[in-house]
C-alpha cells in the first residue's frame, strides 16, 4: 500500500510538469490545427539548453528558463515562419512531414552538439526531500509541480485577460471571424507557436533539476503530451492539469507495481483507450 501511495504522489507531481508541456502543445494544436510532432523535442532541446547554461555558467537549472524561455519563444516563432506558415493551406500529410522533419532535425542537432550519452547537471539548489505522514516527497519534484501549476495559471490569465491572449482564443474559435474583427492571423499563429514552444523551456529547466537528458527523450515527451491532450480534450485548462496528473500517476504506478519498462506501454494504452471510448477527451468541448 505504501508503495502505491508513494508512487501515486511522485507520479502526480510529475504529471503537473506533463500538463505544462501539454498546454504548449494544445495552444499550437487548438489554435492552428497543426499536429506538431516536434513538441517533445522542444522539451528535449530545452533540457539541453538548461544543461548547457547550467554547466557553462554554474547557474542552477531551475533558473535557466529566465534565458531559455525567451530563447525557445524565438525558436518557436522562427520555426513557425520558416516551415509551418507555408504548410497551413497544404495537405495534412505535408504538415506531418514537416513537423516530423523538424523533430528529426532537432534530435540530430543535439546529437551532434552533445553526443548521444545522457547528460545531467551535477546538483541543484533544490535537493533533499520532505517527509509527510511517512511518505517521502522529493523537494525538486514538489517545486517543479508548483512552478508548473503557477505557469499554467499564468498562461490561463494571459489567454483571458490580455488582448493577444484573447486574439489567440478568438482565432482558435473561428479564424475568419477573428480576421474580420482585426486579428492578424499569421502574427497570432506565430505568437501561439512561440508561446507553446517557450512553455517547454520552463518544463525543461524544472526537469533538469532531477533528471538527465539524452537526444532520444523527445519521443517520450511527445507521446506523453499527446496522451495527456487526448485525455483532457481541447478547451479546458483545469482539465489539462487533471489529465496530466492522471497520466503521471498511471505511469508511475505501472513502474512501481509492474516493471519500469512498462511506463510507455501504459501511456499508449491510455491514449488508445481514450481515442476509442471518448475521442473528445474527458473535459473537451465538441
Partner 1 sequence: MSEILRVEGLHAGYGKVPVLRDVSFHVNEGEVVAILGPNGAGKTTLLKTISGLIHPTAGKILFDGQEIGGWPPHRVTKAGIAHVPEGGRLFPNMSVRENLLMGAYGNRESLRTGVLEEVYEMFPVLRERHRQMARTLSGGEKQMLAIGRGLASRPRFLMLDEPSLGLAPKLVDGIYERLQALRGHGLTVLLVEQNIHYALELADRCYVLENGRIVLEGTGEELARSEHIKKHYLGL
Residue 281 CB, nearest distance to partner 1 (Å)?
15
Q: How far is the CB of 166 from partner 1 (least distance, A)?
A: 6
Contact positions toward partner 1, by CB under 8 A? 163, 166-167, 169-170, 173-174, 176-185, 235, 285
Cα separation, 196 vs 21, in Å, equals 8
Cell of 47: 533540457
Nearer to partner 1, 163 or 276 (CB): 163
Asked if residues 77 and 193 have their Cβ atoms less than 8 Å apart, the reply is: yes
Strand partners of residue 129: 138
CB 271 within 8 Å of CB 283: no
Nearest approach, Cβ of 36 to partner 1 (angstroms)? Answer: 22
In the block, cell 533544490 appears at: 126
CB closer to partner 1 out of 28 and 145:
28
Is the Cβ–Cβ distance between 283 and 238 less than 8 Å? yes
Instruction: Give me the least distance between CB of 286 and partner 1, in Å please.
Output: 9
Count of C-beta atoms within a 10 Å radius of residue 86: 11
69 vs 225: CA distance, rounded Å: 19
CA distance 59 to 47: 13
Q: Nearer Cβ to partner 1, position 30 or 196?
A: 30
The residue (of 127 and 162) whose beta carbon lies closer to partner 1 is 162
Beta strands in 129-224 (DSSP E): 129-132, 135-138
Question: Residue 173 Cβ, how far from partner 1 at the closest point, in Å?
Answer: 4
Q: Which is nearer to partner 1, 183 or 203 (CB)?
A: 183
Amino acid at each position: 500500500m505504501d508503495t502505491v501511495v508513494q508512487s501515486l504522489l511522485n507520479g502526480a507531481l510529475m504529471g503537473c510538469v506533463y500538463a505544462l508541456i501539454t498546454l504548449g502543445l494544445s495552444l499550437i494544436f487548438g489554435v492552428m490545427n497543426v499536429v506538431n510532432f516536434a513538441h517533445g523535442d522542444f522539451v528535449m532541446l530545452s533540457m539541453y539548453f538548461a544543461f548547457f547554461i547550467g554547466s557553462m555558467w554554474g547557474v542552477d537549472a531551475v533558473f535557466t528558463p529566465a534565458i531559455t524561455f525567451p530563447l525557445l519563444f524565438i525558436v518557436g516563432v522562427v520555426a513557425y515562419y520558416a516551415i509551418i506558415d507555408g504548410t497551413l493551406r497544404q495537405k495534412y500529410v505535408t504538415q506531418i512531414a514537416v513537423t516530423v522533419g523538424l523533430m528529426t532535425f532537432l534530435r540530430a542537432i543535439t546529437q551532434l552538439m552533445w553526443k548521444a550519452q545522457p547528460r545531467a547537471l551535477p546538483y541543484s539548489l533544490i535537493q533533499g526531500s520532505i517527509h509527510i505522514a511517512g511518505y517521502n516527497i522529493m523537494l525538486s519534484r514538489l517545486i517543479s509541480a508548483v512552478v508548473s501549476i503557477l505557469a499554467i495559471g499564468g498562461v490561463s490569465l494571459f489567454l483571458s485577460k490580455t488582448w493577444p491572449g484573447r486574439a489567440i482564443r478568438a482565432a482558435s474559435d473561428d479564424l475568419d471571424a477573428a480576421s474580420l474583427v482585426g486579428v492578424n492571423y499569421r502574427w497570432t499563429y506565430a505568437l501561439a507557436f512561440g508561446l507553446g514552444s517557450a512553455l517547454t523551456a520552463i518544463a525543461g529547466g524544472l526537469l533538469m533539476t532531477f533528471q538527465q537528458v539524452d537526444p532520444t527523450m523527445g519521443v517520450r515527451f511527445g507521446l506523453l503530451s499527446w496522451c495527456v491532450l487526448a485525455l483532457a480534450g481541447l478547451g479546458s485548462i483545469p482539465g489539462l492539469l487533471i489529465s496530466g496528473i492522471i497520466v503521471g500517476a498511471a505511469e508511475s504506478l505501472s513502474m512501481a507495481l509492474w516493471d519500469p519498462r512498462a511506463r510507455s506501454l501504459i501511456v499508449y494504452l491510455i491514449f488508445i483507450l481514450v481515442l476509442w471510448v471518448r475521442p473528445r477527451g474527458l473535459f473537451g468541448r465538441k
